[in-house]
Amino acid sequence: MEPSLEHLIRLQELDDGIARRRLTVAALPDRLAACETHVATAETVLAAGRERATHNETARRACERDLAAAQTRLSRYKDQLMAVKTNREYHAMQHEIAAAQEEVRVLEDRLLELLVSHDDLAAAVKSAEAELDAARPYAEQERAARTAEATRMEEEIRSAEAERARLVTELDPQALALYTRVAERRQGQALAEARDGHCTACHVRLRPVIYQEARRGARPVQCDNCNRILYVPSQTTEAAPQK
Ligand SMILES: [Zn+2]
């Protein structure tokens, strides 16, 4: 294969590698944000669980206070019942006692409900705490790994760019201009492998003369359809007749 074609193949490899690594580097902020979101979600769940538990605690205390007051009132009415003088007073007091008893019953039911939900809420808080405890170190590891990966990618981009700069000085200016022109039109893909008489990028059957030229690799030839510069990998070229 002619050196300028080999150089173009290497140039495409470098450009592909640089583009791929740039995507990874560009995705870093989103990946770091995803780590933050993971922890923030666990924190929100825990905060909400704690708030519900606190609310339950407050409601339980209020309920216990109300229950104690209702019970005190009930026993006072019962004492007063012994001291009434008239039938009318007796009925009125019995009415008060019935109302207080109903109040005690309702408050006891409510207290029982609150005690039952207290256990569920405490279990939910415990599990949310465990979730957050796991989320924090996971996010930390993930952050460190992603940052290290991006740093490594940046170093690889720098070294690929250095090699690219050297390569460009060695390249035939016409071949380089052709590569640049096609790459701009084809999302960075200036080269296409020719295989079994076809362009592997656009899948069009190549004219035999073009395919033969590509196999010889003596000069850059382009696909008639997509304009990409065609190449046949070295081992195939070697196996093929040279003239
Ligand atoms: Zn093509």
pLDDT digits (tens, 9 = 90+) for 86-103: 999 999 999 999 999 999
Q: Where are the domains of the chain?
A: 15-170, 173-239
**Distance, CA 199 to ligand 1 centroid (Å)?**
5
Residue 237 has pLDDT above 80, yes or no: no
Q: What is the mean pLDDT of residues 128-136?
A: 96
Apex 144 CA angle, 15 and 126, nearest 5: 140
Q: pLDDT tens digits, residue range 158-208? A: 999 999 999 999 999 999 999 999 999 999 999 999 999 999 999 999 999
**Distance, CA 94 to ligand 1 centroid (Å)?**
100
**Distance, CA 191 to ligand 1 centroid (Å)?**
9
**Distance, CA 17 to ligand 1 centroid (Å)?**
22
Apex 212 CA angle, 195 and 181, nearest 5: 75
**Distance, CA 205 to ligand 1 centroid (Å)?**
8
Q: What is the mean pLDDT of residues 221-232?
A: 96
* The pLDDT value given to residue 57: 97
* The pLDDT value given to residue 146: 95
* The pLDDT value given to residue 202: 96
Which fold is adopted by the domain 15-170? Helix Hairpins (1.10.287)
* The pLDDT value given to residue 219: 86
Q: pLDDT tens digits, residue range 30-47? A: 999 999 999 999 999 999
Residue 242 has pLDDT above 60, yes or no: no
**Distance, CA 227 to ligand 1 centroid (Å)?**
6
Rounded to whole angstroms, how far apart are CA atoms 132 and 44?
A: 10
The pocket of ion ligand 1, defined by CB under 5 A, consists of 199, 201-202, 223, 225-226
What strands lie across the sheet with 229-231, from one edge to the other? 198-199, 191-195, 229-231, 221-222
**Distance, CA 233 to ligand 1 centroid (Å)?**
16
Rounded to whole angstroms, how far apart are CA atoms 170 and 8?
A: 11
